[in-house]
Amino acid sequence: MEEKIEEIMKQYPVRLVAKRRIRGAILLETKEGLFSLQQYQDSIKKLEFQEQVKQIIEESGYTYIDTGIPNETGELLTKDGRGNRWLLKKWFRARECNLYDENDIEPAVRHLAKLHNIMQVPSYPESGEMMPLPKTEKEVSETEKVMSETEKEVSKIEKVMPESKSVTQAMERHIREMKRVYNYIRNKKQRNEMELCILQLFPEFYEQAGSVQEYFSKIDCDSLWQNCIHQGRVYHGNYNYHNVLFQEKQIVTTNFEGAGLGIQITDLYDFLRKIMEKNNWDTKQGIKILDSYCQVRMMQKEEAAFLYLLFLFPEKFWKQINFYYNGKKSWMSVKNYDKLLKIKEQEQKRRKFLTEAKGLLFYSGL
């Protein structure tokens, strides 16, 4: 590994001083600054899209992001002797966001709202839309240039769209998975403590999942998704405490590997849900965080309703029983059982938060 790193770094105009491993990468201290080096296994088009988004953010005046560093030939990816591709990124001396500290949480949420205001790629023609026929040679040349650029943008966009274009389809699949696990356990002759707990909790959480499915048809989530795609709205995809760092008073945003076109409010859901779980579903804190986000970026009514439905769906319960079903069933995982018991313990407070959040987020008439 030492030789491999030295081989890669020879292709960059930096002088290496020290190195050590960090989460998912190698931290490099050089005379030119701090960098991270990681093996890259995704498509080049996806990387180009991520860097395009970072460029948009930088042009808005915010430079605290892990921008990719080109090598001496101007390429973002560098190959080692075995053909593996490596990505060098700007890095920072910073600490992770503390999900138990309001002095970290609220600035991080307001920062997310600022990013959502910024992260928008140029719009592009809808699929099948015809361009006007040119009448002169000059117009022909200009049209070919525009079409070429459009094809490039569409190509990039197609690579960063979610595999499933329907939020409702994904939710329906989760509900079927919950039912499949329930039927499997119910048909067993002997059940362990975890399986009995799943059977006990299932009716309540399955009812919540069914309510989400019912509401989806009323707020037309697919249209919301399509509008976000058409507007070029970009979500971060991994906005969590590992990727939100604090360098004194500056907030550093890293790891845009999950970035794509879609409903941005999913970032807020992912970040806030983890905060709520860590802080025992503190309703007062949760509502305060939602208000902090809206002070910077006001949600559309469809976004707000969608956010509520994300919280209403029992994601933690679904994940745990999926882990159970897809894992070894010959023995009971004490760790997963403890997580299931914690879900049970927190459910009353979670319901209290859902009631308050519904009044704040869900528009009248539904």
Per DSSP, 261 falls in state E
Measured CA to CA, the distance from residue 332 to residue 336 in angstroms comes to: 8
What parts of the chain have a pLDDT lower than 70? Answer: 1, 123-166, 363-366
Tell me how far apart the terminal alpha carbons of the chain are, to the nearest angstrom: 58
Measured CA to CA, the distance from residue 65 to residue 45 in angstroms comes to: 19
Residues 279-308 pLDDT 10s: 999 999 999 999 999 999 999 999 999 999
Question: In this predicted structure, what is the pLDDT of residue 128?
Answer: 32
Per DSSP, 258 falls in state T
**Secondary structure (3-state) at 89:** strand
> Taking each helix axis from N to C terminus, what angle separates 102-118 and 283-296, rounded to the nearest 10 degrees?
30
In sequence order, what DSSP letters do the residues of 27-67 get, joined into one string? EEEETTEEEEEEE--S-HHHHHHHHHHHHHHHHTT---B--
Question: In this predicted structure, what is the pLDDT of residue 216?
Answer: 82
What's the predicted TM-score (pTM) here? 0.85
Question: In this predicted structure, what is the pLDDT of residue 29?
Answer: 92
Question: In this predicted structure, what is the pLDDT of residue 346?
Answer: 96
Question: In this predicted structure, what is the pLDDT of residue 213?
Answer: 84
CB 314 within 8 A of CB 198: no
Question: In this predicted structure, what is the pLDDT of residue 10?
Answer: 87
